[in-house]
Amino acid sequence: MRTAVLVLLVACAAAQPTPSAKHEMFSQPEAYERFMGRWSRLVASQLIQLAEIHDGNTVLDVGSGTGALSFAIRDATKAGRIVGVDPSSAYVEFATKHADPLTHFEVGDGQDLHFASAAFDRTLALLVLNFIPDSERAAREMVRVTKPGGVVVAAVWDYGHGMEMLRVFWDEADAFDPTKESTDEAHMPLTHQGDLGALWTRVGLVDVEETPLVIEQHFASFDDYWSPFLLGAGPAGAYVGKLSKERQAALRERLRKRLLGDGPDHAIDLHARVWAVKGTVPSSQHAARE
């Protein structure tokens, strides 16, 4: 019953005109949690290892969303302080409900961080940079707020073939609706091998390392795969929200056939890969800015 009410509320909200499509797709924290937060939490634990967070480190989580990465850092490390920043006030409010003296969330824009230079030991961004209009400016901001010798880390889904959950979805959506405006996330910047590594080098980071990280996605049933797409979260949810009920049902059937064939419902296991990048702030980076 609660799920039905949530679906209805989200569908109604999606039908209202909103200031921007981006705001709309990142305005429903519960929907995001069910659609993607459960998976970003799995990637978070691998990204934390890449960032090598030491005891007492101050950590910034850019585009912190509902708090998946910040809370994973809190639980897996002995970081001294963790700050999350995100432009979605609904997400910040949701994350703040779970905050504690170690974690703190603020509304803000990654392109214009309101923190002093060299304020953090580690700066991370999980599944965010492809959504930021000027991602290079955001990357430069991540470098600016990180101490010399500090580490800057980011990851973006590989929407090409590495993120099966969304690849399957967009392949079927494209085949079903070839004239649709291209919303396939594979067209987004920074989602292909080498993109993040090149950006990290361009913004002056050293010892740059790009690496794939893979998680397994276990869906208990076809409905566990499909129903989160109805919640309006992310570009795929926004696309489904614009379809009529009949067209949603037709797309659902295509996906069901693709994932289950003509057989009965069963659990579905898919792989999801991100491209992750790590770089170190050289001591000259800050000297050059002062």
Ligand X SMILES: C[S@@+](CC[C@H](N)C(=O)[O-])C[C@H]1O[C@@H](n2cnc3c(N)ncnc32)[C@H](O)[C@@H]1O
- Binding positions for ligand X, rule: CB under 6 A: 26, 36-37, 40, 62-66, 68-69, 86-88, 91, 109-111, 126-128, 131-132
Residues 112 and 109: their CA atoms lie apart, in Å, by 5
Copy the structure tokens of residue 173: 């959506």
> Which lies closer to ligand X via its Cβ, residue 22 or residue 254?
22
CA-to-CA separations, 268 to 105, 108, 222, in angstroms, rounded? 35, 37, 7
> Which lies closer to ligand X via its Cβ, residue 84 or residue 150?
84
Give me the least distance between CB of 195 and ligand X, in Å please.
17
Residue 171's contacts (CB-CB under 8 Å, 6 or more residues apart) are 258
Give me the least distance between CB of 268 and ligand X, in Å please.
22
Using CB atoms within 10 A of its CB, is residue 254 exposed (0-12), middle (13-18) or buried (19+)? middle
Secondary structure (3-state) at 147: strand
Give me the least distance between CB of 63 and ligand X, in Å please.
3
Which residue number is nearest to ligand X in terms of Cβ?
Answer: 65
> Which lies closer to ligand X via its Cβ, residue 25 or residue 230?
25
Give me the least distance between CB of 279 and ligand X, in Å please.
19
User: Among residues 169, 135, 202, which one has the least CA distance to residue 268?
Assistant: 169
Give me the least distance between CB of 86 and ligand X, in Å please.
5
> Which lies closer to ligand X via its Cβ, residue 166 or residue 270?
166
> Which lies closer to ligand X via its Cβ, residue 60 or residue 173?
60
Dihedral through CA 86, CA 89, CA 94, CA 96, nearest 10? 70
> Which lies closer to ligand X via its Cβ, residue 139 or residue 151?
139
Give me the least distance between CB of 94 and ligand X, in Å please.
10
The pair phi, psi for residue 281, each rounded to 5°, is -80, 120
Asked whether the beta carbons of 213 and 276 are under 8 A apart, the reply is yes
> Which lies closer to ligand X via its Cβ, residue 24 or residue 222?
24
Copy the structure tokens of residue 30: 């519960």
Which ranges of the chain does DSSP label H, i.e. alpha helix? 2-15, 21-25, 29-32, 38-51, 68-76, 89-97, 135-144, 164-176, 195-202, 222-226, 234-241, 245-260, 283-289
Asked whether the beta carbons of 197 and 191 are under 8 A apart, the reply is no
Give me the least distance between CB of 166 and ligand X, in Å please.
11
